[in-house]
Amino acid sequence: MSPVAAAKYANVLYPIVNAAEIHGGALPTSELGVVALDDRTLEITLEAPTPFFLELLTHQTGLPVHRPSVEAHGPDFVRPGNMVSNGAYVLADFVPNAQVKLTKNPEFHAAEEVRIDTVYFYPTEDRSAALRRFQAGELHSNNDAPVEQVAWMKENLGARFRVAPYLGNYYYAVNTGKPPFDDPRVRMALSMAIDREFIAEEIWGGTMVAGYSFVPPGTANYGAPAIADYHDQGMIDREDAAVALLAEAGFGPDNPLAVEIRFNTSENHKNTALAIADMWQPLGVEVTLLNSDTATHYAILRDKGDFDVARAGWIADYNDPQNFLFMVESDNPGFNYANYANPEYDALMDRAAAETDLEVRARILFEAESLFMRDLPFIPLMYYGSLSLVSDKLEGWQDNIQNVHATRWMAIRE
Amino acid sequence: MLSYALRRLVGAIPTLFIIVTVAFFLIRVAPGGPFHLERPLDPQVMENLLKVYHLDKPLWQQYLLYLENLLRGDLGPSFIYRDFSVGDLLGSGLPVSLQLGGSALLLAFFLGTGLGSLAALYQNRPGDYGVMAVAMIGITIPNFVMAPVLTLVFALYLDWLPAGGWGEGALAHKLLPVFTLALPQIAVIARLTRGSMIEALRSNHVRTARAYGLPGHVVVIVHALRGALVPVVSYLGPAAAALITGSVVIETIFGIPGVGRYFVQGALNRDYTLVMGTVVMIAGFVVVFNLLVDLVYALIDPRVRYDR
């Protein structure tokens, strides 16, 4: 939590007593609400009841590090030879952009259950190249696949190409601080006219799922998410309703609404934006597209630059609806690209944070998500899917919503 | 010649300084910073990061700080690969790029001059047309097309070679990337050699050599080729610098841990120090190779002397 460490995920642990103050430099690290009572007991004191705290500890920030080696090596404690870890594997070698090599940890408490002795991780930027290496038998699995080759992979790889639901949302943030996008009717009309099934199937090859809520279905500590009520209406009815909403807001054939869609450069983001521009055309919306590289795009979103509608995506850090809904709290400027400020929403999120009964909390969060879906600071488009290439030889692979696949549970069949 | 080389190296210092200065300010003019990621950062996290890397200071202070570190040989930490310094990254990538680029360069030089000379000797005959047609293909097919095609053929259908990875420098892993990288260079060098060779074969000194009754291969190799190589050598300087400092396309497609991709990745990620590190490295190579080219001129062309 020390500000000097400048940890990128420090804020994930803010539920711990004094964590935010320490990270802000107001308190020394010794004030953190974490104490080792004895060699085997850790006591963590929280600011408020945090029902998702156990989930949160599965995040990488919850992994233990070996104090003497951190103290001895400083930031170099992550180097092979310096790193002491308690998992099933130890770090043997790390060459940037070449490979990370892990070998079985003989000290691991269940070492006899670990069936793979050595693991190589190869970073592969080019998904098509990864597919070729996979086909050549050089990789047993790859955690991504080329979206443009989905049809081919489905036909030729069978069960070796896998798509699983993923805890993420692909959405368009709307600048709610800028007229006419401050009018919820405008945002609703734009959202209703989008044929999400078409985008998910035709553009993303079924690797995404049409999304009508912000929290993806299947998220822990939650029931069914607050699905938009128009999700089962036909596109023609939705278009009519959207035209009517826009007319109410003062837009029509004589006074067309102009929208600029911003996205970060990528073939599929572009195709998605083009499709949406096409879907908005019947509403008389005049769309312009603007793409920029990732750093520029997010700098504009973050620094409250001028935009109308902008593409963004969020993959949850932990499996809880709060990790989606917190994004548009009014005091969360880093994430709230839409500049959404609704005291009612904030109050619900505060109530949920103080609630220990998981069922009651889920209902409060559902209420918050319902507000979200009414106001649409973000227009949810699709739930992410995770794409994997998995060899027939690799046993023990389980698709899961967090897309975590520990080698510890796997084996290679000869 | 030594004093000439030294003078040239000293003369390169202001050039490098200007390059460093321009690059430093140019990359910072680009909107966004190293911490504007797809995954947003908490404001306090952002503030701490900027502070740790001195990015919260005025630009001129950052510039002076960078120059000061550079003079001490410290290229700074990478903002994206946070466990490594820019020196670590370039240090582990450069030997790989040197091997890859050096092999490609040698292959390109020998095959290119050989084929080009053959084409010149058989000017306007089938051999010439054949070489020039292949050269045209080498130049026109970009390596991001050539690399996947070669991988499909040699790794997937024939199963002779690995489809990617560096394999810690094993020969089998090098063949495809070296060949793909060399191919366009072979083509360019073959065309250059053919052109200047045709000219050289018609020149007075070659005619004289033939009149003396020297054997044909001596005339071609010793007298004609030597003069014909001058334009090739001028081309080789910048080509060598480009090959040795890596190729982002080849490295990305074959999964090779060289330095080529750091330039592009660094710029896209606004990893300022990494961009600066690659700029310094490439500028250094260009200066050195241009100097080498000038020195080689003296070896192959007796009219060129630097000692006066």
A364 and A227 share one domain: yes
Q: A6, B49: Cβ pair inside 8 Å? A: yes
Is residue A316 located within the same domain as residue A211? yes
The CA-based diameter of chain A, rounded to the nearest angstrom, is: 74
Closest chain A residue by Cα to residue B160: A136
Mapped onto helix, strand or coil, the DSSP state of residue A240 is helix
Query: Which of A11, A79, A293 lies nearest to residue B45, judging by beta carbons?
Result: A11
CA distance B301 to B304: 6
Per the CB < 8 A criterion, the answer to whether A337 and A301 are in contact is yes
Write down which residue in A21, A39, A62 finishes a domain. Answer: A62
- Please name the residues between 165 and 194 in chain B that touch chain A, using a CB distance below 8 Å: 165-166
Does the CB of B91 have a partner CB in chain A at under 8 Å? no
Indicate whether A178 and A50 sit together in one domain: no
What burial class does residue A128 get, using C-beta atoms within 10 Å of its C-beta: 0-12 exposed, 13-18 middle, 19+ buried?
middle
CB atoms B42 and A10 under 8 Å: yes
Rounded to a whole number of angstroms, the distance from the CA of B44 to the nearest CA of chain A is: 6
CB contacts, 8 Å: B56 with chain A? none
Residue A76 lies in a domain: no
Q: Which residues pair with A32 in a beta bridge?
A: none
Local confidence band at A142 (pLDDT 50, 70, 90 cut-offs): very high
User: Is A55 buried (19+), middle (13-18) or exposed (0-12) by CB count in 10 A?
Assistant: buried
Residue B80's Cα: distance from chain center in Å?
A: 25
CB B105 within 8 A of CB B243: yes
A308 with A187, same domain: the answer is yes
Phi-psi region of B31 (alpha: psi -120 to 50; beta: other; left: phi over 0): beta
**Structure confidence at residue A340 (pLDDT):** 93
CB contact under 8 A, A97 and B93: yes
A251: pLDDT confidence band, cut at 50, 70 and 90? Answer: very high
CATH of the domain at A395: 3.40.190.10
Assess contact for B4 and B306: CB atoms under 8 A: yes
Q: Do the domain assignments include residue A74?
A: no
CB contact under 8 A, A135 and B41: no
What is the pLDDT, as a whole number, of residue B306?
65
Quote the number of domains for chain A: 3
Domains of chain B: 86-300 (1.10.3720.10)
Q: Is residue A271 part of a domain?
A: yes
Instruction: Provide the shortest C-alpha distance from residue B15 to chain A (in Å).
Output: 30
The mean pLDDT of A199-227, rounded to a whole number, is: 92
Per-residue pLDDT, B298:
77
State which residues form the domain around A48.
Answer: 3-62
Provide, for chain A, the percentages of residues in helix, strand and coil under a 3-state DSSP scheme, each rounded to the nearest 5: 40, 20, 40
Are residue A157 and residue A247 in the same domain, yes or no?
no
The predicted-structure confidence for A292-343, as pLDDT tens digits, reads as follows 988 889 988 888 788 999 999 999 988 899 999 999 999 888 889 999 999 9
Residue B37: its chain A contacts at CB < 8 A? Answer: 294-295, 298
| pLDDT tens for chain B, residues 1 to 308 | 777 778 888 888 888 899 999 999 988 888 888 888 777 888 888 888 888 888 888 888 889 989 898 888 888 888 888 888 898 888 888 889 888 999 999 999 999 988 888 888 888 888 888 888 888 888 888 888 888 888 888 888 888 888 888 877 788 888 899 989 988 888 889 989 888 888 888 888 888 888 887 787 778 777 788 878 888 888 888 788 778 876 888 888 888 888 888 888 888 888 898 999 998 888 888 888 888 888 888 777 777 766 54
A324 inside domain: yes
Residue in B with minimal Cα distance to A7: B45
CB contact under 8 A, B166 and A75: no
Asked which of A45, A62, A79 is the last residue of a domain, the reply is: A62
Q: Do B92 and A133 lie within an 8 Å CB cutoff?
A: no
Pick among B29, B37, B38, B173 to test the A interface (most A CBs inside 10 A)? B38
CB A15 within 8 A of CB A56: yes
Give the whole-number percent of chain A exceeding pLDDT 90: 68
Q: Which of A18, A22, A79, A97 to mutate to test the interface with B (most CBs of B within 10 A)?
A: A97
Note whether A253 and A158 are same-domain residues. no
Residue A363 has pLDDT above 90, yes or no: yes
The answer to whether B151 contacts A302, with C-beta atoms less than 8 Å apart, is: no
Q: What is the DSSP letter of B222?
A: I
- Cβ A103 vs Cβ A118: under 8 Å: yes
A104 inside domain: no
Q: Are residues A138 and A282 in the same domain?
A: no
From chain B, pick out residues whose CB is under 8 angstroms from the CB of A23: 44-45, 48
B11, amino acid identity:
G
Nearest C-alpha neighbor of B246 from the set B264, B273, B268, B270: B264
Residue A151 lies in a domain: yes
Q: With the CA atoms of A262, A265, A268 and A271 taken in that order, what torsion angle do they form, in degrees rounded to the nearest 10?
A: 50
Banded model confidence at residue A51, pLDDT cuts 50, 70, 90: confident
Block residue for tokens 């700074």: B76
Contact assignment for B30 to A296 by CB distance below 8 Å:
yes
Query: Do A129 and B164 lie within an 8 Å CB cutoff?
Result: yes
**Of A39, A62, A85, at which residue does a domain stop?**
A62
User: B167 or A353, which is more confident?
Assistant: A353
What's residue B307's pLDDT?
Answer: 59
Q: Is residue A95 part of a domain?
A: no
Residue B306 C-alpha, separation from nearest chain A C-alpha, in angstroms: 43
Chain A residues touching B164 at Cβ < 8 A: 124, 129-130, 132-133, 138
Q: Whole-angstrom Cα distance, residue A289 to residue A236?
A: 25
B45 and A128: CB-CB below 8 Å? no
- b or e along B264-273 (b: 16 or more beta carbons within 10 Å of the residue's beta carbon)? bbbbbbbbbb
One-letter identity of residue A352: A
Question: A106 in a domain, yes or no?
Answer: no
Same structural domain, A170 and A283: yes
pTM of structure = 0.83
Q: How many CA atoms lie within 13 A of B204 on its CB side?
A: 0
Burial (CB count <10 Å: 0-12, 13-18, 19+), residue B61? exposed
| Strands A118-121 and A286-292, sheet pairing | unpaired
Query: A138 near A357, Cβ under 8 Å?
Result: no
Of B285, B277, B284, B287, give the one whose Cα is nearest residue B27.
B277
Neighbouring CB atoms inside 10 A of B217's CB total 8
Q: Quick one: three-class SS letters along B92-152?
A: HHHHHHHHHHHHHHHHHHHHHHHHHHHHHHCCCCHHHHHHHHHHHHHHHCCHHHHHHHHHH
- Rounded-to-integer distance, Cα A340 and Cα A377, Å: 6
Burial of B226 per CB tally in 10 Å (0-12, 13-18, 19+): middle
Enclosing H/E stretch for B228: helix B225-244
How far is it between the farthest Cα atoms of chain B? 84
Task: Determine the residue of chain B that is closest to A312 in CA distance.
Answer: B38
Angle, in degrees to the nearest 10, between helices B272-300 and B2-29: 150
Q: Closest to B255 (Cβ–Cβ): which among A124, A315, A337?
A: A124
Q: Output the domain CATH number for residue A18.
A: 3.90.76.10
- Given an 8 Å threshold on Cβ–Cβ distance, is A11 in contact with B42? yes
Does residue A367 share a domain with residue A259? yes
Q: Chain A partners of B44 at a C-beta cutoff of 8 Å? A: 10-11, 20, 23-24
User: Which residue of A133, A294, A300 is in closest CB contact with B164?
Assistant: A133
Q: What is the tens place of the pLDDT at every residue in A71-116?
A: 999 888 989 999 999 999 999 999 888 889 999 999 999 999 999 9
Same domain, A190 and A233: yes
Closest CA to A161 of A396, A394, A390, A400: A390
Under a CB-based contact definition with an 8 Å cutoff, are residues B32 and A305 in contact? no
| CATH number of the domain to which A351 belongs | 3.10.105.10
- Other CB atoms within 10 Å distance of the CB of residue B72: 8
DSSP labels for A51-74? Answer: TTHHHHTTSGGGS---HHHHHHHG
The verdict on A306 and A252 lying in the same domain is: yes
User: From the list B34, B49, B148, which residue is nearest A128 (CB)?
Assistant: B148
Do A261 and A288 contact (CB within 8 A), yes or no? yes
d(Cα B185, Cα B237) in Å, to the nearest integer? 12
Residue with tokens 């690209």: A337
Whether residues B40 and A293 touch (CB distance < 8 A) is answered with: no
Whether the CB-CB separation of B106 and B182 falls below 8 Å is answered with: no
Mean pLDDT of A394-405: 90
The rounded distance, in Å, linking the Cα atoms of B44 and B80 is 18
> Based on the domain organization, do A220 and A348 belong to the same domain?
yes
Instruction: Check residue B203 and give its pLDDT.
Output: 82
Find chain A residues with C-beta within 8 A of B263's C-beta.
none
Q: How far apart are CA B262 and CA A179, in angstroms?
A: 42
Q: Do A296 and B31 touch (CB under 8 A)?
A: yes
Selected residues 264-283 of chain B with any CB under 8 Å from a CB in chain A: 268-270
Under 8 Å between Cβ of A238 and A195 = no
Test the A interface: residue of B36, B79, B88 with most A CBs within 10 Å = B36
